[in-house]
Structure 1
Amino acid sequence: MTLFRRLTGARRKSWAQPEFWSLDDDVTRWPLISASMSGSREDIGNDFEGYVQGAYKSSGVVFACILARQLAFSEARFAVCRYGLDGRPGDLKYTPGIELLSRPWSNGTIGELLSRMELDVSLAGNFYATTVDDLGRIGRAARGGPGERIVRLRPDWVTIIIGSRKDPEDAHPYDVTAKVIAYEYNPPAAGTQWGVISDQQQSLLLLPEDVCHYSPIPDPSMRYRGMSWLTPIVNEVKADKAATKHKLKYFELGASPKMAVALDKEITGPQAREFAELFKEQHQGVDNAYKTLFLAGGATVTTVGSDLSQLDFKTTQGAGETRIAAASGVPPIIVGLSEGLESATYSNYGQARRRFADNTIRPLWRMAGVALESLVSLKKPEHLRVDDRDIAFLREDLSDQAAILAQQAAVIRQLVDGGFDPDASVKVAKSMNVDELIGNHSGLLSVQLLPPGMGQFDPETGEVLPGDPAMGGQPAGGAPSPQQQAVSQPKPRPQPGGANQ
């Protein structure tokens, strides 16, 4: 079988998981959710439309957390650096090979590209992109072509294809020799409903080096794909939406208290069951909450709760919001959630901002830079790194960098004053490795104005005093050496009026 026929998988089945928001809490009903794979195909685990419609567009907390990540993540600019022999990055510079990132498509910006990356990663766990040009060339063939641009591949239409030398016909995804051999892009056919893949679709096969695959959170049940941070907190999102709806119903229906109904003792069992069924149908559930009760037949009503304060509503909903923010990697005070604002001070906000930048945004930038290298033209030793010098969100980090630079300058000054080579002193200040000083001492101290054994200057006359014979200098009363003669001439003294006589 040819490689193309193996990749298209005409004889294989592929599993599609049920929509995200329709999943029941009992995962035993969906045994394929944690391992949606067949043969050498690995599909995305969660329903993209379900996350978009069920979380991003209908949960204020989820939207706020994604927006906070997106705004901070989109502030980055990328530059090129080369790593030294010690593995440390060198100086940043801008080359023509990365200009595509600044204008990824017509009227597009690097901020829009990074926003799309963050949005897809939060909702689907994966971001896929490739390059095309006006001649229809794709991937590396489009490098430098007319109208070259970056094209985002919708993540739920991408399938990772895995190949293996042991079983080229139907490789197992966890074979130790298996690797990613292609990405298959399956957009819906023309005329079909969005998100529904028909049999008439035209699949696009892309080699791994032609695709930018960014997946910062790995899916533990899959080998090569990523996982959305929303996956572990599905129940938290559902609970927060239910609490919000509960609160809305409370105000829409006049804030009526919840009631308990007691029936007359003469009511028979069948009548009671019929009454209970009718009551549940008309009054049970969030949608029927707080409706006015009309009772007959001797039924009595008892108030169970009068307002939301008895439920400690703020604390209950606030705890759920905090867990959602924790999963997103955004401190509640940054998002503006209630539990974060209760302890909000300038000091706390600064600490939260530092935690958000150092533990969430910077690692994402580092991984995104590596993923984007497949879309630009770089020389072999070059790599992409984020230039964060002009990012306002990290302005306090620049103050810390200035303090570190001042400390490094003090270390360099001390080492140079101690007689060490200036270049070696700079290396020590940067690497914090004193081994760089080995063999780099000049043998002199900065306070020595003359070589050893030549004596000292007389501060009044400017003449050189006789050297110490023990230091190898000219003994007292002997003839001065040529070096001593050169420096023993008295310094001219300034005369009144500014002229030297």
Structure 2
Amino acid sequence: MNLLSRITARSPSTRSGGIPLNQLLGLIGSDPYTLLQTQASWGTEERMETSFTAAAQHAMKQSGVVWASLAVRAQLFSEARLAWQSVTRGRPDRLFGTPALGLFERPWPRGTTRDLLIRMMLDADLAGTGLVARRGPDRLARMRPDWCTLVLASRDEPVDAAAPPLDAELFGVIYEPPGGRVEVVLADEVAVFAPMPDPIAWWRGSSWLIAILRELQADSAATEHRLAFFRNGATPNMVISFEPTMKMEQVRQFKELLESEHRSAVNAYKTLYLAGAKATPVGSDFKALDLRSISGLSETRVAAAAGVHPVILGLSEGLQGSSLNAGNYSQVRRRLADITLAPLWSAAASALAPLVTPPAGARLWYDVRDVPALREDRKDVAEIQFRQAQAMRSLVDGGFEPQSVIDAIESEDMSLLRHTGNLSVQLQPPGSGAGDGSGSGDDGSDAA
């Protein structure tokens, strides 16, 4: 019996929320399938691809457009709620709740579902992967990505970095906080939220920030250029030429005087007095460089990588022309919900599902009916429901069983319809009632 089999053979009731490393090594004993060996990304361990601290400090906190993109994604993402969704005949059905969902509603002391989701989203955006560990029956804990190592294992053979077996699976996560206790959290006690999988890894995700590193460098360079422009007098670069008779000491004194009285934005636009010297502007000014267009294009590429339209972020290129028309804005908002947020919510529900046991015939899902940004879509829902109600009325009037009509409309499968054998609105059996051909009243007289 190998290590993975022995560890996973524990009863679910023995959840500990983490195994100290020394205990894990004791369980390994002389097992040849040692898992704690640092290998390449396809090996026994997967670490985060970028520095989490660097991404937070230099990308999120020093770039306005990155901050705005992260904020919009995290804030909208965290507005959803988690719920059970019943599955009937392979089709999603109604949403409902049970006390078991309290684990997500109060994940840690003074925490809410919003706190849980916003942490997962920020970690996934900055590091590619968000990790949440279960700590006992009623508590979760966020695991900082750069302190974690994902461990792979096989039930039948060793995991080789050069040729991983097809049945390699996630064994758990090694949690190594600086100066703290090293723990191993098993796979059934940890949620791995990786919205965009890293194509060269098994379980690790890839951050969208990786794709825009050069854009961030260009944006930072443009910002430095603007700052230098104002520091140096808010004027174009100049070449100062002197008369041949001037001595070097005089040149140095002139240079110090010029910089002290004309450098920095405070001294901009002062009259420049020259004696025995000539100033010639060189280089380009802001108008010639068109930094606004350069910065706008860079910001748009950052927004595209984040999956958030410039209109939503309020970027300069999103505030031009007809972009802010009501119809255009609605389409942009819908695009954000349908293409960016919906897959993220689905991935989060799938990642958190191993931490709880679902009711029979149900799955963990998300509920966005109370998200303010999506309220306008409720009009479309109402329109669809109205059309469905009309179709149901027509089918029931045509003699189909009401419950089969509901099932067919909800599942979009007309083969589920079952006819009652009755006809018309009154659902009269054939040959009965007014259709008997008597044409007379109750007293036998001719009808008026």
**What secondary structure, in the 3-state scheme, does the structure 2 residue paired with 1:244 have?**
helix
Query: Are 2:438 and 1:488 aligned?
Result: no
Paired with 2:41 and 2:411, the residues of 1 have a C-alpha distance of 47
Pairwise CA distance, 1:42 = 1.5
Pairwise CA distance, 1:346 = 1.8
178 and 261 in structure 1: CA distance in 2 versus 1, 3 angstrom threshold = farther
Instruction: Output aligned runs, 1:445-456, within 5 Å.
Output: 445-446=424-425, 451-452=430-431, 455=434
**What secondary structure, in the 3-state scheme, does the structure 1 residue paired with 2:92 have?**
coil
In structure 1, the partner of 2:362 is: 382
In structure 1, the partner of 2:140 is: 150
Q: What's the RMSD between the two structures over aligned residues? A: 3.5
In structure 1, the partner of 2:94 is: 91
TM-score (normalizing by structure 1) = 0.71
Paired with 1:9 and 1:112, the residues of 2 have a C-alpha distance of 33
Pairwise CA distance, 1:126 = 0.5
Instruction: Output aligned runs, 1:97-136, within 5 Å.
Output: 97-132=100-135
Pairwise CA distance, 1:251 = 2.6
In structure 1, the partner of 2:375 is: 395
In structure 2, the partner of 1:54 is: 58
In structure 2, the partner of 1:362 is: 342
Paired with 1:307 and 1:71, the residues of 2 have a C-alpha distance of 39
Paired with 1:165 and 1:447, the residues of 2 have a C-alpha distance of 65
Paired with 1:419 and 1:247, the residues of 2 have a C-alpha distance of 75
Pairwise CA distance, 1:182 = 2.0
Paired with 2:444 and 2:193, the residues of 1 have a C-alpha distance of 74
Instruction: Output aligned runs, 1:440-479, within 5 Å.
Output: 440-446=419-425, 451-452=430-431, 455=434, 466=438
Pairwise CA distance, 1:104 = 1.1
Instruction: Output aligned runs, 1:200-219, within 5 Å.
Output: 202-219=181-198
| Percent identity over paired residues | 39
Query: Are 2:173 and 1:183 aligned?
Result: yes
Q: Is the 8 A contact 1:250 1:290 kept in 2?
A: no
Paired with 1:399 and 1:359, the residues of 2 have a C-alpha distance of 20
Counterpart residue identity of residue 393, structure 2: R
Paired with 1:348 and 1:185, the residues of 2 have a C-alpha distance of 46
In structure 2, the partner of 1:220 is: 199
Q: Is the 8 A contact 2:85 2:363 kept in 1?
A: yes
Instruction: Output aligned runs, 1:189-204, within 5 Å.
Output: 189=179, 202-204=181-183
- 1:432 aligned residue (392, 403, 412): 412
**What secondary structure, in the 3-state scheme, does the structure 2 residue paired with 1:303 have?**
strand
425 and 336 in structure 1: CA distance in 2 versus 1, 3 angstrom threshold = same
Instruction: Output aligned runs, 1:307-326, within 5 Å.
Output: 307-326=285-304
Query: Are 2:34 and 1:42 aligned?
Result: no
Counterpart residue identity of residue 416, structure 2: E
Q: Is the 8 A contact 1:258 1:290 kept in 2?
A: no
Counterpart residue identity of residue 339, structure 1: E
In structure 2, the partner of 1:75 is: 79
Q: Is the 8 A contact 1:131 1:149 kept in 2?
A: yes
322 and 489 in structure 1: CA distance in 2 versus 1, 3 angstrom threshold = farther
> Deviations 1:116-151 (Å, cap 9, x if unpaired)?
01110110011111122xxxxxxxxx22xxxx3211
Q: Is the 8 A contact 1:40 1:172 kept in 2?
A: no
Q: Is the 8 A contact 2:397 2:427 kept in 1?
A: no
Pairwise CA distance, 1:379 = 3.2
**What secondary structure, in the 3-state scheme, does the structure 2 residue paired with 1:409 have?**
helix
Counterpart residue identity of residue 182, structure 2: S
Paired with 1:166 and 1:289, the residues of 2 have a C-alpha distance of 70
238 and 490 in structure 1: CA distance in 2 versus 1, 3 angstrom threshold = farther
361 and 13 in structure 1: CA distance in 2 versus 1, 3 angstrom threshold = closer
> Deviations 1:38-76 (Å, cap 9, x if unpaired)?
741211111111101110111111000000011100101
Paired with 2:277 and 2:380, the residues of 1 have a C-alpha distance of 72
Paired with 1:171 and 1:338, the residues of 2 have a C-alpha distance of 47
Moved more, 161-170 or 120-129: 161-170
Paired with 1:165 and 1:288, the residues of 2 have a C-alpha distance of 67
Pairwise CA distance, 1:419 = 2.1
**What secondary structure, in the 3-state scheme, does the structure 2 residue paired with 1:348 have?**
helix
Pairwise CA distance, 1:454 = 5.1
In structure 2, the partner of 1:337 is: 315
Moved more, 209-218 or 366-375: 366-375
Pairwise CA distance, 1:323 = 0.3
Higher CA-based Rg: 1
Instruction: Output aligned runs, 1:257-268, within 5 Å.
Output: 257-259=236-238
Paired with 2:160 and 2:210, the residues of 1 have a C-alpha distance of 29
Instruction: Output aligned runs, 1:266-345, within 5 Å.
Output: 302-305=280-283, 307-342=285-320, 343-345=323-325
Unaligned runs of 5+ in 1: 15-35, 133-141, 190-200, 266-278, 457-463, 468-483, 492-501
Q: Is the 8 A contact 2:230 2:265 kept in 1?
A: no
In structure 1, the partner of 2:235 is: 256
2 and 252 in structure 1: CA distance in 2 versus 1, 3 angstrom threshold = same
Unaligned runs of 5+ in 2: 4-23, 245-254
**What secondary structure, in the 3-state scheme, does the structure 2 residue paired with 1:217 have?**
coil
